[in-house]
Amino acid sequence: MTETQYDRAPGDRPVLADEGTSSGVLVYTTGLFLALILTATSFWAANTSLLWAPGTHLGLAVLAIAQMGVHLVFFLHITTGPDNTNNVLALAFGVLIVFLVVAGSLWIMADLNDSMMPPAQPMNMPMHH
Amino acid sequence: MNIAVETVDLRREALPSASEAGPAPKRIIVAYGFWIFLLSDIVMFAALFAAYAVLVQATAGGPSGAQLFSQVNVAIETACLLASSYTCGLMSLAVRSRRRVGFYLGAVVTFALGAAFLGLEINEFAGMIDRGATPQTSAFLSAFFTLVGCHGLHVAVGLIWLVVMMAQVAVKGFRPTVERRLLCFSLFWHALDIIWVGLFTVVYLMGVHP
């Protein structure tokens, strides 16, 4: 009774009074199957020639983010419940920093690369970055 | 008499809010702190991912990812790590209901799958270095070995941690301290699998696809 007023520890699943361990196994098994389906789709999409090639990278990124979501929900038991607000807020801040670091680095380096002067004629070195 | 009845009713109707209830149990504090650590670890991996993505074209005349990576090897590695994440979940269920046999079974299978993953990765690295694709060859390979090697190092630390936890359960049993450490371990192991999802997508699948 008093447990409910505290936040929930990340990784802890809410344990209802009348449930056995079988429902916990069911949650993990559901997560495993969803993750397997998403992984198999990723490997198929990377190796097939049926899909529009320029869209493959975007599709792979979407599949990876979906699978990360599956892991967070079914393995780490992150929910939207009020006892999980702190965990979700910390996660949201982490995701923000990850996005800023990755997207910012790619943007800045691509921009630098574009505005680099072409190499002088005598030194015919391939300059990638 | 009347007063006693009223206080009981009051307690049932107005539970104190989280801030009035006093300090949270130690399990919540420890797990939340470890959650913050894991998120900062993921931020560190984000920096390594960004470095890899910037340098992926900078092969400096050396081999590219498409020439080096084996899809089959990566598929087996991914399956090993995903299955070990699953058995780690079953292990934490056994810990919650204090079933020793279930815990040892889950821990041993998790360890075996994690060790198989690590063995395959070391084998892959050795094969690449044999073919002259060392970290010194190009900026692409430096970034590759840093990113994938850092994840492999985390897996190795996790395996050592798992052995220590098995020994602690054997010696100390399911004490609250041991249970908190096991909760942190399962958080760590699931987080490593999440990082691997990003890793096999960005490095191996996008690298092989032109």
pLDDT (0 to 100) of residue A2: 46
Q: Which residues of chain A lie closer than 8 angstroms to B34, CB-CB?
A: 10
Chain B interface test: which of A101, A107, A127 (most B C-beta within 10 Å) = A101
User: In this structure, are residues B70 and B103 in contact, taking their beta carbons and an 8 Å threshold?
Assistant: no
Chain A interface test: which of B74, B190, B208 (most A C-beta within 10 Å) = B190
What proportion of chain A, given as a percentage, has pLDDT over 70? 82
Q: Which of B16, B50, B186 sits opposite A5 (nearest CB)?
A: B16
3-state secondary structure B22-54: CCCCHHHHHHHHHHHHHHHHHHHHHHHHHHHHH
Residue A24 has pLDDT above 90, yes or no: no
User: In this structure, are residues A99 and A85 in contact, taking their beta carbons and an 8 Å threshold?
Assistant: no
Dist. CA B146–CA B144, nearest whole Å? 5
User: In this structure, are residues A9 and B28 in contact, taking their beta carbons and an 8 Å threshold?
Assistant: yes
- Measured between alpha carbons, how far is residue B12 from residues B4, B8, B9, B18, B24 in Å? 13, 6, 5, 16, 20
Q: Which residues of chain A lie closer than 8 angstroms to B35, CB-CB?
A: 10-11, 87, 90-91
* Residue of chain A whose Cα is closest to the Cα of B36: A90
pLDDT (0 to 100) of residue A19: 62
Rounded to two decimals, the pTM is: 0.87
The confidence band for A81, taking pLDDT boundaries of 50, 70 and 90, is: confident
User: In this structure, are residues B191 and A71 in contact, taking their beta carbons and an 8 Å threshold?
Assistant: no
- Write the pLDDT tens digit of every residue in A99-109: 999 999 999 99
Residue of A101 and A3 predicted with greater confidence: A101
**Record: contact A129-B50, CB cut-off 8 A:** no
How close is the nearest chain B Cα to the Cα of A116, in Å? 15
- Write the pLDDT tens digit of every residue in B8-60: 444 444 556 666 778 888 999 999 999 999 999 999 999 999 999 999 988 88
pLDDT (0 to 100) of residue A127: 54
- Measured between alpha carbons, how far is residue A96 from residues A89, B38, B39, B156 in Å? 11, 15, 11, 28
Residue A123 has pLDDT above 80, yes or no: no
| Distance separating the N- and C-terminal Cα atoms of chain A | 60
Residue B18 touches partner A, C-beta closer than 8 Å = yes
**Record: contact A76-B190, CB cut-off 8 A:** yes
pLDDT (0 to 100) of residue B7: 46
Residue of B203 and A83 predicted with greater confidence: B203
Residue A4 has pLDDT above 90, yes or no: no
User: In this structure, are residues B48 and B150 in contact, taking their beta carbons and an 8 Å threshold?
Assistant: yes
Residue A122 has pLDDT above 60, yes or no: no
Residues of chain B falling short of pLDDT 70? 1-19, 209-210
